[in-house]
Amino acid sequence: MHELKHLSQSELLSQTKVAIQNERKATAQILLCFREIESRLLYAEVGFSSLHEMAVKYFGYSEGAAHRRISTMRLIKDVPTVAVAIEAGDLSLSVASTVQNFLRAEARQNKKVYSLNEKNELVNSMKHKSKAECERDLRKISPLLIRPEKERPICDEFTQITFQANKKLLENLHQLKGRLAHRTGSDSSYAKLFMVMSEMVLAQIDRTPNPGLHKNSVARPAKETVISPSHGIVDKTISQNELKSSILSQTSFARQTSPERLLSGATATRSFSRAVQRMVWKRSGGQCEFVAEGDVGAGRRRCASKWQLEFDHLKPFARGGESIAENARLLCRVHNQFVAKDWSLL
């Protein structure tokens, strides 16, 4: 630091320029490293549910910096020349990630998929432009494209969440404000409304994984247990034929099964019984149970994901694994796919 004070103006500018060039080269190399980490599912191996989580918690990037690098890395998969443009200073991370977000939004909202040539042309048209200029040009292509949702921490207690609601959602929110006025009280803000709705939904989800039978319980139609798209367990009514088949298989299984295994919740099918699911859910705390082995530099880290949880056999059912609590675990979808990949290699 003290050496810089003794540099002439031209020397200082020259050194700064060299440092910026080295930074761009390092950035391009980091993007390639991220691409390789993602292709190997290395983030899953060390206990993270996503590359973004690894970039923030392991590599120390901010949320925004991690998002820009990962979005740009995924653009490079389709348009490899992006890496060269970033290293040369022709394209910034902000612009590259904005282009990638635009392409994803076009595919998701407008069902429009760009060809490789169209992507190359779009990237080339954004060279040497600022993020504001890039966004302006993209709005000309798709004026009605919805901007991506954003979370911006304001302080330890509050986070600003920004998203755009379509006409139907806005109508629903207005109706809910009226119908839930007895719960929101004098506070008619959207923040209060979402707080009340989230508490109601979570209370319902929490009741579902641990359904208890009370003295006055009424008989209900036959049901089977499945995992919902979000974390949690839901019931689905099954047909009488399915019920008869299930009873026959369980009866046959019971004839050749000890009472101890029946009490443990064992079943003759791939599906886990309700009793087993309740035990595993309670044991896991509703969180992915994958733990990294600790031999790849990240230590024994347990995955913190509570999103898209699925019940999995420790020893696969196809290899003789039983559907009992001792052979069950709760995994997020990423780690369920990761361990399945390992078993497929054996």
**Percent of residues, the chain, with pLDDT higher than 70:** 77
Query: What are the tens digits of pLDDT across the range 287-316?
Result: 999 998 765 555 678 999 988 899 999 998
CA of residue 22 relative to chain centroid, distance:
33
8 A C-beta contact, residue 312 and residue 339: yes
pTM score: 0.66
Distance CA 16, CA 14 (A): 5
- Tokens representing 129 are 């432009």
- Taking every pair of C-alpha atoms in the chain, what is the biggest distance, in angstroms? 91
Ramachandran sector of residue 342 (left: φ over 0; alpha: ψ -120 to 50; beta: rest):
alpha
- Tokens representing 286 are 């509703």
How large is the average pLDDT for residues 252-269? 50
8 A C-beta contact, residue 288 and residue 305: yes
Query: What are the tens digits of pLDDT across the range 177-223?
Result: 888 888 888 888 999 999 999 999 988 877 654 443 333 333 333 34
Distance CA 152, CA 161 (A): 6
- Tokens representing 28 are 């391009």
Top-confidence range, 101-110, 122-131, 141-150, 249-258: 122-131
CA–CA–CA angle 273, 274, 278 (5° rounding): 120
8 A C-beta contact, residue 303 and residue 49: yes
8 A C-beta contact, residue 51 and residue 70: yes
